[in-house]
């Protein structure tokens, strides 16, 4: 039995060309073969002559082998679409007719044909005053789309058909959006229209509908802003102004005389109907308040000044709020407590963001940082977009993300960011607030968006000791206070190291701060102790390694040298002398070490190594020395042989040595066994 007789075969043209048999996808073959199938599917039930096929696939200048190629493509399509049949004779799906070929499939089996039929049915229903049924049918038609029609299919016919179907798609979308606005679903229409305008920026009807949708939601100022943006865009691109329809709507909004009042809203649905997702292929949750923040630390000590400055920023009543997104960029050394501070201030500010709270770990210091494309998938699913309905391209995901957050007071926390390329697509608009943590300073956010940067340093000794006291539950009057203070100092006052230390003290009923401090005094053992078995993220050595492996070769060499020598004063001049480079190059490498959290700036051209970082760097230096020594040892037999020849030549007054310095029988290379 062939695929056609089972009624299971379907051809998708409204997106990348794909063919299915039930849930199994059929491989069609090379691009020209796909172009042939697209042509036949578009003309299903009609005989397409061979001459028409050649023109559709190659245009006015086909190759001499075009006719033979068509025959080859038809034979291959028969095998793909009807694998149970032999190559001889016509298949039940692809039939040979006099002078051409016919693809026998019902309307329901070709999504482009089904879209056209449903669009026509919707218009008939609307003309018959059956608005609800008509708009539902439009939503079903738009739900068939999965991207640009015939994406990736070559040839003149595919290019023309792509334009025709795209025009029909946006005409249907305008009609459907108009129905959404008329039935009180203006907020959903705004999301759709923001995406559509990016795809068709010169289509004034879409901008008209966006102004109308914003006005229907009580957002008159935003509606007028759309008009201003449209006028600027058209003048820049075409040197013209908005059309009469847009100008008339603008004037009516200013005068408050838009026909009719916003209709009473329909009961909110839990989810936009699946058949209405065709505008980008995304079904969007409605009425969902996401709250995806991880838990804050159970005990948080210090960072008073940073928290105070953030609260002032979040509560600042600025007339520009709604235009510029408040961005807080937290950076600092490994283990300094960036994520803890971000979550502390996020949980402390929940009431300021009633529309929800999003979180994504971007994995910037890991082996596989999250791309902006994948991060948007996480964020959009948090906003209620179905996984199977996510836009297939980065621009589509960005526009949907920003549209869903438009006008919303939401908090977005992006932890462990890598850099600007990863972050820029994730920046929301308007009244949402963004909190970013990163090991490296995100100066681009400061320059481009006016972000407020918070550069964290290790805690001071008193605060670090207070944190260790709070974590271990010891009282301030304890006689072990001096030992706890020494432990905090040996931890470099880094919150991560202090928390690991507290875990060791609490997990060992016989442990004592004095004994653990004595163990920490040995640099060789300290990093081994500052780790949590089974959790690499909770290891001082692993978090430092994540920064070290991103250094340039020159910066890494300077880092190892500084940690091995441990000079009293670190600056460009002294560092340049240590590694025999210019002062300017040394200054650049020092700044790189600061950006990676492996060096702390303490003044103009003055730097300092944290104790734990110095121990780690000394380990790296020792490992590098041992690696070089091993490479030298492997080369030693050859080097000694050369030295023997040279010495003998010198003793012989430059005479040529006729005998080697070893007996040939004694020389046995390792691979001769």
pLDDT category, 404, cuts 50, 70, 90?
Answer: confident
pLDDT at 474: 61
Whether the pLDDT of residue 263 is over 80: the answer is no
Alpha helices, DSSP H, located in 415-494: 420-423, 443-449, 461-472, 481-490
Region of poorest pLDDT, from 68-77, 175-184, 321-330 = 321-330
Looking at residues 332-337, what average pLDDT do you find? Answer: 86
Residue 226 neighbours by CB under 8 Å, 6+ apart = 207, 210, 211, 214
Question: b/e string for 142-155 if b means 16 or more Cβ within 10 A?
Answer: bbbbbbbbbeebbb
pLDDT at 430: 65
pLDDT category, 176, cuts 50, 70, 90?
Answer: very high
Alpha helices, DSSP H, located in 82-155: 111-127, 131-142
pLDDT at 52: 92
Bridge-based pairing of strands 357-361 and 411-417 is parallel
pTM of the model: 0.56
Whether the pLDDT of residue 652 is over 70: the answer is no
Strands, sheet with 24-26, edge to edge from the N-terminal-most edge strand: 9-12, 18-21, 24-26
Determine the distance from the C-alpha atom of residue 329 to the mean position of all C-alpha atoms in its chain, rounded to a whole number.
Answer: 18
Higher pLDDT, 472 or 53: 53
* C-alpha–C-alpha distance, residues 141 and 169, integer Å: 9
Q: What are φ and ψ of residue 291, in 5° steps?
A: -145, 95
Of 523, 522, 502, the closest CA to residue 513 belongs to 502
Region of poorest pLDDT, from 44-58, 269-283, 488-502 = 269-283
DSSP 8-class letter at 370: P
- Beta-ladder partners of 100: 49, 97
pLDDT at 22: 75
Residue 116 neighbours by CB under 8 Å, 6+ apart = 168
Residue 87 neighbours by CB under 8 Å, 6+ apart = 75, 78, 79
Higher pLDDT, 522 or 480: 522
* C-alpha–C-alpha distance, residues 127 and 137, integer Å: 13
Region of poorest pLDDT, from 283-292, 296-305, 444-453 = 283-292
Looking at residues 409-423, what average pLDDT do you find? Answer: 88
Give the other-Cβ count within 10 Å of 582's Cβ.
10
* C-alpha–C-alpha distance, residues 245 and 173, integer Å: 18
Region of poorest pLDDT, from 402-406, 408-412, 529-533 = 402-406
Whether the pLDDT of residue 665 is over 70: the answer is no
Whether the pLDDT of residue 13 is over 90: the answer is yes
**pLDDT single digits (tens) 584-630:** 888 888 888 888 888 888 888 888 888 888 888 888 888 888 877 77
Looking at residues 548-558, what average pLDDT do you find? Answer: 87
**pLDDT single digits (tens) 217-235:** 888 888 999 999 999 999 9
Looking at residues 145-157, what average pLDDT do you find? Answer: 90
pLDDT at 644: 44
Look-up of token digits 């030295």 = 643
Looking at residues 169-195, what average pLDDT do you find? Answer: 89
Looking at residues 88-102, what average pLDDT do you find? Answer: 76
pLDDT category, 522, cuts 50, 70, 90?
Answer: confident
Region of poorest pLDDT, from 150-159, 220-229, 279-288, 630-639 = 279-288
Region of poorest pLDDT, from 281-290, 306-315, 479-488 = 281-290
pLDDT at 636: 55
pLDDT category, 11, cuts 50, 70, 90?
Answer: very high
Of these ranges, 395-399, 459-463, 667-671, the one predicted with the greatest mean pLDDT is 459-463
- Beta-ladder partners of 48: 101
Angle at 390 between CA 386 and CA 396, to 5 degrees: 145
Percent of the chain topping pLDDT 70 = 83
Instruction: Specify the 3-state DSSP secondary structure of 460.
Output: coil
pLDDT category, 77, cuts 50, 70, 90?
Answer: very high
How many Cα atoms are found within 13 Å in the side-chain-facing hemisphere of 12? 20
* C-alpha–C-alpha distance, residues 12 and 38, integer Å: 9
pLDDT at 155: 92
Instruction: Specify the 3-state DSSP secondary structure of 475.
Output: coil
Per the prediction, the chain carries an average pLDDT of 80
């Amino acid at each position: 039995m062939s695929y056609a007789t089972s009624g299971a075969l379907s051809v998708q043209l409204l997106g990348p060309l794909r063919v299915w048999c039930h849930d199994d996808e059929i491989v069609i073959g090379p691009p020209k073969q796909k172009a042939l199938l697209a042509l036949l599917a578009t003309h299903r039930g009609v005989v397409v002559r061979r001459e028409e096929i050649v023109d559709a696939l190659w245009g006015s200048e086909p190759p001499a082998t075009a006719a033979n190629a068509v025959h080859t493509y038809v034979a291959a399509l028969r095998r793909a679409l009807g694998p149970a049949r032999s190559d001889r004779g016509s298949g039940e799906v692809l039939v040979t007719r006099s002078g051409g070929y016919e693809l026998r499939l019902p309307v329901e089996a070709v999504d482009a044909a089904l879209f056209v039929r449903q669009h026509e049915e919707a218009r008939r229903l609307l003309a018959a005053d059956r608005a609800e049924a008509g708009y539902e049918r439009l939503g079903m038609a738009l739900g068939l789309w999965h991207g640009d029609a015939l994406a990736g299919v070559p040839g003149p016919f595919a290019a023309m058909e792509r334009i025709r179907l795209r025009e029909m798609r946006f005409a249907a979308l305008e009609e459907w959006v108009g129905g959404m606005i008329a039935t009180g679903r203006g907020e959903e229409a705004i999301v759709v229209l923001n995406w559509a305008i990016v795809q068709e920026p010169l289509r004034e009807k879409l901008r008209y509908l966006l102004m109308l949708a914003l006005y229907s939601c009580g957002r008159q100022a935003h509606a007028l802003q759309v008009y201003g943006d449209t006028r600027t865009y058209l003048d820049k691109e075409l040197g013209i102004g908005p059309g009469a329809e847009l100008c008339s709507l603008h004037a009516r909004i200013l005068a408050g005389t838009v026909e009719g009042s916003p209709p009473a809203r329909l009961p909110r649905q839990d989810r936009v109907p699946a058949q209405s997702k065709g505008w980008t292929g995304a079904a969007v949750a409605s009425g969902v308040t996401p709250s995806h923040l991880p838990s804050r630390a159970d005990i948080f000590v210090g960072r008073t000044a940073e928290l105070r400055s953030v609260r002032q920023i979040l509560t600042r009543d600025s007339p520009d709020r709604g235009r510029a997104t408040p961005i807080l960029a937290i950076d600092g050394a490994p283990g300094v407590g960036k994520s803890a501070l971000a979550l502390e201030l996020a949980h402390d500010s929940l009431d300021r963001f009633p529309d929800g709270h999003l979180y994504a770990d971007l994995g910037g210091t890991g082996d596989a940082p999250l791309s902006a494309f994948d991060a948007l998938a996480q964020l959009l699913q948090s906003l209620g977009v179905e996984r199977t309905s996510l836009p297939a391209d980065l621009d589509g995901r960005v526009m949907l993300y920003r549209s869903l957050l438009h006008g919303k007071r939401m908090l977005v926390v992006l932890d462990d960011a890598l850099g600007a390329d990863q972050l820029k697509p994730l920046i929301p608009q308007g009244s949402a607030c963004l909190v970013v943590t990163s090991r490296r300073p995100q100066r681009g956010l400061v320059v481009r968006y006016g972000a407020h940067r918070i550069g964290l340093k290790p805690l001071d000794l008193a605060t670090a000791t207070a944190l260790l006291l709070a974590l271990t539950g010891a009282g301030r009057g304890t006689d072990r206070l001096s030992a706890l203070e020494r432990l905090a100092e040996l931890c470099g006052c880094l919150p991560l190291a202090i928390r690991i230390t507290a875990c060791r003290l609490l997990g060992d009923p016989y442990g004592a701060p004095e004994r653990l401090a004595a163990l920490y005094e040995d640099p060789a053992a300290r990093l081994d102790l500052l780790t949590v078995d089974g959790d690499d993220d909770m290891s001082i050595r692993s978090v430092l390694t994540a920064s070290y492996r991103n250094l340039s070769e020159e910066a890494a060499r300077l880092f190892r040298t500084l940690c091995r020598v441990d000079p009293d004063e670190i600056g460009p001049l002294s560092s340049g002398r240590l590694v025999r480079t210019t002062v300017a190059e040394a200054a650049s490498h020092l700044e790189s070490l600061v950006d990676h959290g492996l060096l702390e700036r303490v003044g103009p051209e003055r730097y300092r190594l944290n104790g734990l970082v110095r121990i780690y760097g000394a380990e790296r230096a020792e490992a590098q020395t041992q690696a070089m020594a091993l490479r030298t040892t492997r080369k030693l037999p050859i080097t000694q042989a050369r030295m023997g020849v040279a010495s003998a030549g010198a003793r012989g007054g430059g005479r040529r040595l006729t005998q080697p310095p070893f007996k040939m029988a004694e020389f046995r290379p390792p691979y001769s066994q």
